[in-house]
Amino acid sequence: MLRRMAMLFAMVAGLVSVPATPVQASTMTVTVTATCACQYTVSVSGQTEPGGIVTVTYSFTVTSHGVEYPVTDQVSTVADANGHFSETIPGLVLPGSCDDTVEFSGGSASLSLGEGSETGFAIDLPTTMFCLSEPPPPGKMLQIGPSSMEGRLLIRPGDWISGGYSFVFVNGQHEATVVTVTSKMTLPYRCGDGTTGTFVINLGTHDHDVPAEDKTWQPTGNANSILSWAGSGLAPAGCGPGQVMENSKGAIFEATVSQNPDTGSMLNWRFKYRDPNAKGKGNVNCLDNSDPRRAKADVCGASWSGTLRDP
């Protein structure tokens, strides 16, 4: 009897002493690619528990025009029966303006699986992009602002900010011409901790055909028309993820303007900008014709600045 009990205790002790099999650590590769169209693609792949729901949180910093823009987002996917997972998300928007040198730094990622998480994964980031492959068309330079037609704005990361302009010939004796405009807007901001900065919304290059002797506002004088908007972009997290940027100084409009043929006639200029989300109207891109909200005057019907005659 005693011998039988001793054998039983030995078996129990042997079972207790068997170490638990450790959970195998996940492996993961995160790659970010980008283009000078201010878009990026993130790809994640790796090995983890079979059938697991994987959430990858990634972050990196974009620097353009000397301004640093933090980027943070997530990718969700499911591992297959062998534990392999892979997901690619294209067409994501980079903050800032991709019309100059664009640098990437500080990439890191973490993986969440159920209630557990693993950190310390590196990100394969793009090399420095030199996006100013061609200089803007030659022409006159003009600047309006800072002008604060929108009042005090509390801009949130990811807000759509749209900008536009209109111009008119001073006299009606000009011949038919094409007016080419390359422009951008700069918005200064202040953070809650007192730090300040700026970010740029690139409005692109546009050609405007103006008939001879035409003295109407181009491309439109209607501030609620989609034609009055030249470009839009997403606000960065200039004050940190989730933190608002106070903009009370308005915006600065800068443009390079040329005429072909050059009529020698002067032009009057004005511009406008809008952050519908900061006005409590929802996060609306005023150039998105598929969004019915953009046609509402209280959403995208921004006021014009004062006029400036080109030099």
- Whether residue 103 is found in the same domain as residue 165: no
- The boundaries of the domain holding residue 83 are 27-130
Strands in 27-35's sheet, in edge-to-edge order, are 84-93, 39-47, 27-35, 123-124
| Biggest alpha carbon–alpha carbon distance for the chain | 120
**Number of domains the chain is built from:** 2
Here the CATH number for the domain that contains residue 67 is 2.60.40.3930
In terms of domains, do 126 and 199 share one? Answer: no
| pLDDT tens readout for residues 215-232 | 999 999 898 899 999 998
pTM: 0.60
- Whether 113 and 223 map to the same domain: the answer is no
What average pLDDT does range 141-147 have in this prediction?
A: 91
* Structure confidence by residue, pLDDT tens digits, 262-300: 998 999 999 999 999 999 999 999 999 889 999 999 999
Evaluate whether residue 16 is within a structural domain: no
